[in-house]
Amino acid sequence: MKMGLFLLLAVFVGSTACSKSGGAKSSVPLPAAKISDVSQPRQRTAFAMRFYVDLSAASAQTVTVNYSTGAGTAKTPADFTAVSGTLTFQAGQTELYIDVPVKGDSLRKDDQQFYVQLTDPVNCTLGNAKATGTLGNTDGTYLPADGTGYSTPLSYPGYNLVWHDEFDGNALNTQDWNYEQGGNGWGNHELENYTNRLQNVFVSAGNLIIEARKESYDGNDYTSGRLTTYGKQQFTYGRVDIRAKLPVSKGMWPALWMLGSNISSVPWPGCGETDIMELIGTNPKQVVGSMHWKQQDGSTGTYNNAYSLPSQDFSQEFHVFSVIWKKDSLQFLVDDHAYVNGSVSNVSSGTYPFNNPFFFIFNVAVGGDWPGPPDVTTVFPQRMFVDYVRVFQ
């Protein structure tokens, strides 16, 4: 009996070891299901954002997982349509997707997020079970502005309206305007790269909008826009009205100005510079109007003055920045209040250049010698809205 029991145990132990080495069934780990984030620019018309759900390995059996959407800064039904359901992976399948309907919208605003959550796995586990859908709104081409503020008429006694841009279309009129581009500091150690992208210059809801952004672009940390009418629109004398709303944060330097059209043959400052409006962000209630020219010794001559609002600042309403330009004189105005009266008598050294044709420049600089750089209080994007520019003669 003892010998028989010993032989029986020996056979049992020996067959177990054999079965192990011979590849008996071992437990196979369940695959993990994961869902990936999606970021997509918002479109004008309705579209679908597609979220891919992947298994870490193929399964020999059917795998299911439930899903449902959840609101974040993007809401339903205003931004997207809530969906829910079950994904079924057939044996061998490793990827399926969920389409979430998104409402079309071209409004330029902050990006928005919503979520897709996986739950209730069958024959799988959950890896990354929650995905974020990001609606990219920051490049939208529609941006209305509160139009309150000062306005000026379309006619004046004794003047004819000889050129104007009301910015009522959907795009910049390149028959009149040029994009200046680059990030070389522009002679003032500015920090931006001027581009011709819709991200920085666009026309919407009756306004030209120049937008400065904090972003890495072609070696610069900021982008913005700079437009000129050089070679397309130039004027000598008349009244100029420009209605605009300005960015006023630290480091911002919006300007509406003119240069002599002979700049290619008579370099600055000999060609002359007329600054209809400049604002330095640290002085949000104040603008400066200036005349610049080349003095006899080669230095830059300046005659200017500042205008300050009694309340609010220049970002809160539209204001009209004007120059009344006659032979041998320039008068600068804000909302029809004259604050600079310059003339040939102020150019005591050098040649008076302001009886020649000039062209327009509109730009928003970031940083530079005068305003200094932005700081932690500067929230981007920063925008200048221009409602119209009108020239009367």
Domain range summary for the chain, segments of one domain joined by +? 32-136, 161-392
pLDDT of residue 23: 45
pLDDT of residue 7: 38
pLDDT of residue 11: 36
Active-site choice (211, 215, 278, 317): 278
176-196 pLDDT, tens digit each: 999 999 999 999 999 999 999
pLDDT of residue 1: 44
Amino acid identity at 196: N
Whether 278 is a known active-site residue: answer yes
In order of 150, 231, 271, the CA distances from 263 in angstroms are 33, 11, 5
pLDDT of residue 27: 77
pLDDT of residue 8: 37
Active-site choice (190, 192, 211, 273): 273
Residues 6 or more apart in contact with residue 26 via CB below 8 angstroms: none
pTM for the model:
0.89
Beta bridge partners of 274: 258, 291
Domain 161-392 indexed as CATH 2.60.120.10: no
Low-confidence ranges of the chain (pLDDT < 70): 1-26
Place of tokens 């008349």: 238
| Architecture label for domain 32-136 | Sandwich (2.60)
Residues 6 or more apart in contact with residue 92 via CB below 8 angstroms: 58, 59, 60
